[in-house]
């Protein structure tokens, strides 16, 4: 299958005619070819977006909301088709892929509704003959660079608020998952969006990203991906002082206190850890368990993880699909090997599995490691795979101090039945998202984002709208 990009309202290939392969990570089969674009195509998309945005910013909030609602409805109408496409290019099981389509649609719908509440302010002035008005205006053309692990939702979490606020957007999806992004562009047109308002440009990341940062019409860049690339973009954006929001890596702690409902914590741990095969930025990476409930928690985890079916995402029975590429599974192996060499104990998993004939060697068994210490790689770096490393603690201060001992600050989870502890620990954790007796916190209405090296800015909720609006005040002399 040959695909095209939607650039400035037209379906086109790369100017050079170059393309790259899109590969199914479960089978290594080439499933499509996508345009290998660079700086010139990006500039064209930005200039088209700027022209479209001049008209879009005049459209009423109600009309913008209706367009975003129509877009969300089309995604839901095509849930099965979009989910199947996502499973082919990304590997996640079909049920998860369809769930992501609904989740992605919810950002379009919710942001559209919020467009109606982009209120300004009036502020009491210091002189009798003055009035102060505060206006919220669209920033203009915003660009987005998104990762492969949530090929639809990481786009709509940016696109929804951008369009709702009256901005235009140019998106560069990950090289591994261009098809879901192109499918979104088709649905946007079907929903009646002005053709050049939302462009998708696939291809060379450094050239496209560089062109986005250099173009004088670009007012904001929203990036989701690794901290390393976030730093590169921040440096690049410093030249033109591009407004930037960064959703970067994480290294989530998951604390189980001695007074926790351990069965509930086990169930939540498995759902969180194995979502997308462990390849999410908010997957628990460090399980910190009070010594007194260690065996109850670990044996529950081993029992539940052991029952998980690893397999091809298109098989409805699979709960964990392949890792995205060879580098990803090699990293998981390196982390597990390092932990075992440094004294951890393997309670289950710890190896690749071959769930069926004709499948790539990229599936990893859900794994539980016990006796983990702070020196191990699993305690310091994102593993991005189905590995649960368990470390113990003896009191609350120690648990919080281990949890906060990370350069990352995206998500943290803890389980307790003590209400005072719940508030104390929630306040003490240095993370942007805290799940207290909850390990699935992501939702369209809440402000999602990190502190420390996990990023800048928030996505979702009314706070997510701030990234796409400028605050202007008018000092009005009477
Ligand atoms: P990545 O390597 O940083 O890639 C993310 C995006 O950046 C891709 O579109 C990639 O393009 C592009 N990119 C790479 N180098 C670039 C450059 N020099 N200039 C401009 N763009 C560039 O991250 P990933 O491996 O795809 O995703 C995993 C990471 O994302 C993890 O660290 C995870 O925690 C994080 N993540 C964070 C969140 C969050 O909300 N905080 C959500 C999901 C994932 P190519 O694919 O074409 O190289």
Q: How far is the CA of 160 from the centre of ligand 1 (A)?
A: 20
Protein residue with least CA distance to atom 17, ligand 1: 206
Protein residue with least CA distance to atom 13, ligand 1: 205
Protein residue with least CA distance to atom 42, ligand 1: 281
pLDDT in tens, 156-175: 999 999 999 999 999 999 99
pLDDT at position 468: 98
Mutate to test the pocket of ligand 1, among 229, 233, 242 (most ligand atoms within 8 A of CB): 229
Mean pLDDT, consecutive 10-residue stretches, the chain (478 aa), reads 94 98 98 98 98 98 98 98 98 98 98 97 97 98 98 98 98 98 98 98 98 98 98 97 97 98 98 97 98 98 96 96 97 98 98 95 98 98 97 98 98 98 98 98 97 98 97 98
Of the candidate CATH numbers 3.40.605.10, 3.40.50.300, 3.40.50.720, 3.30.70.3270, the domain formed by 5-248+454-477 belongs to 3.40.605.10
φ, ψ of residue 216 to 5 degrees: the values are: -65, -20
Q: How far is the CA of 412 from the centre of ligand 1 (A)?
A: 21
Mutate to test the pocket of ligand 1, among 205, 212, 330, 411 (most ligand atoms within 8 A of CB): 205
For the domain 252-443, what is the CATH superfamily, name and number?
A: Aldehyde Dehydrogenase; Chain A, domain 2 (3.40.309.10)
pLDDT at position 2: 80
Q: How far is the CA of 214 from the centre of ligand 1 (A)?
A: 19
Protein residue with least CA distance to atom 19, ligand 1: 206
Q: How far is the CA of 229 from the centre of ligand 1 (A)?
A: 7
Q: Which parts of 345-402 are beta strand (E)?
A: 345-348, 352-353, 363-364, 367-370, 387-393
Burial of 107-140, coded b for 16+ CB within 10 Å and e otherwise, reads bbbbbbbbbeebeeeeeeeeeeeeeeeeebbbbb
**CATH 3.40.605.10 residue ranges in the chain?**
5-248+454-477
Q: How far is the CA of 95 from the centre of ligand 1 (A)?
A: 24
Protein residue with least CA distance to atom 22, ligand 1: 205
**CATH 3.40.309.10 residue ranges in the chain?**
252-443
User: Catalytic residue positions?
Assistant: 247, 281
Contacting residues for 330 by C-beta, under 8 A, at least 6 apart? none
pLDDT at position 276: 97
Q: How far is the CA of 351 from the centre of ligand 1 (A)?
A: 26
Distances in Å between the Cα of 59 and the Cα atoms of 163, 165, 286, 390 are 11, 10, 47, 53
Mutate to test the pocket of ligand 1, among 19, 202, 207, 225 (most ligand atoms within 8 A of CB): 225
Protein residue with least CA distance to atom 39, ligand 1: 247
Q: CA triplet 193, 198, 199: central angle to 5 degrees?
A: 135
Show the ligand 1 pocket: residues with CB < 6 angstroms.
145-150, 154, 172, 174-176, 205-206, 209, 224-226, 229, 232-233, 247-250, 281, 382, 410, 450, 455
Mutate to test the pocket of ligand 1, among 147, 457, 464 (most ligand atoms within 8 A of CB): 147
Burial of 147-162, coded b for 16+ CB within 10 Å and e otherwise, reads bbbbbbbbbbbbbbbb
What is the rounded distance in angstroms from the CA atom of residue 417 to the CA atom of residue 345? 29
pTM: 0.97
pLDDT in tens, 97-116: 999 999 999 999 999 999 99
What is the rounded distance in angstroms from the CA atom of residue 353 to the CA atom of residue 322? 10
φ, ψ of residue 346 to 5 degrees: the values are: -85, 120
Q: How far is the CA of 377 from the centre of ligand 1 (A)?
A: 21
Q: Report CA dihedral (215, 220, 223, 229) to the nearest 10 degrees.
A: 50
pLDDT in tens, 45-80: 999 999 999 999 999 999 999 999 999 999 999 999
φ, ψ of residue 13 to 5 degrees: the values are: -95, -175
Protein residue with least CA distance to atom 46, ligand 1: 174
Q: 3-class SS at 275?
A: helix
């Amino acid at each position: 299958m040959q695909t095209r990009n939607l650039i400035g309202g037209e379906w086109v290939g790369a100017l050079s005619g170059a393309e790259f392969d899109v590969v199914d990570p479960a089978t290594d089969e080439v499933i499509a070819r996508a345009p290998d674009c660079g700086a010139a195509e990006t500039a064209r998309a930005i200039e088209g977006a700027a022209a479209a945005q001049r008209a879009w910013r005049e459209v009423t909030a109600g009309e913008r909301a209706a367009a975003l609602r129509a877009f969300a409805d089309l995604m839901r109408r095509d849930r099965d088709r979009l989910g199947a496409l996502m499973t082919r290019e990304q590997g996640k099981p079909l049920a998860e892929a369809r769930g992501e389509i609904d989740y992605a649609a919810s950002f379009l719908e919710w942001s559209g509704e919020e467009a109606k509440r982009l209120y300004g302010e009036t502020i009491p002035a210091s002189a009798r003959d003055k009035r102060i008005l505060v206006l919220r205006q669209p920033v203009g053309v915003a660009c987005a660079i998104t990762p492969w692990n949530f090929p639809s939702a990481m786009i709509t979490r940016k696109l929804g608020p951008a369009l709702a606020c009256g901005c235009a957007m140019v998106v560069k999806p990950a090289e591994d998952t261009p098809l879901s992004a192109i499918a979104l562009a088709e649905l946007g047109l079907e929903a009646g969006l002005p053709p050049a308002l939302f462009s998708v440009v696939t291809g060379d990341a450094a050239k496209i990203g560089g062109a986005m940062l250099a173009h004088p019409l670009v007012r904001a860049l929203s990036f989701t991906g690794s901290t390393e690339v976030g730093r590169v973009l921040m440096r690049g954006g410093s030249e033109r002082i591009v407004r930037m929001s960064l959703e970067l890596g994480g290294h989530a702690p998951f604390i189980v206190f001695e007074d926790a409902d351990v069965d509930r914590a086990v169930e939540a741990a498995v759902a969180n850890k194995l979502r997308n095969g462990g390849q999410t930025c908010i997957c628990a990476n460090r399980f910190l368990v009070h010594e007194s409930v260690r065996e109850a928690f670990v044996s529950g985890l081993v029992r539940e993880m052991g029952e998980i079916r690893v397999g091809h995402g298109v098989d409805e029975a699979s709960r964990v699909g392949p890792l995205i590429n060879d580098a990803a599974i090699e990293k998981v192996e390196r982390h597990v090997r390092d932990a075992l060499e440094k004294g951890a104990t393997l309670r289950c998993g710890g190896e690749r599995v071959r769930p069926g004939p004709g499948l790539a060697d990229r599936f990893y068994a859900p794994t539980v490691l016990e006796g983990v210490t702070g020196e191990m790689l699993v305690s310091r770096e994102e593993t991005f795979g189905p590995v649960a490393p368990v470390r113990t603690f003896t009191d609350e201060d120690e648990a919080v101090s281990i949890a906060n001992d990370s350069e990352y600050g995206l998500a943290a989870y803890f389980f307790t039945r003590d209400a005072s502890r719940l508030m104390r620990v929630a306040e003490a954790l240095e993370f942007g998202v805290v799940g207290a007796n909850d390990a699935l916190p992501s939702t369209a209405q809440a402000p999602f984002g990190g502190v420390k090296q996990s990023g800048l800015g928030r996505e979702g909720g009314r706070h997510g709208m701030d990234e796409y609006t400028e605050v202007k005040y008018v000092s009005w002399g009477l």
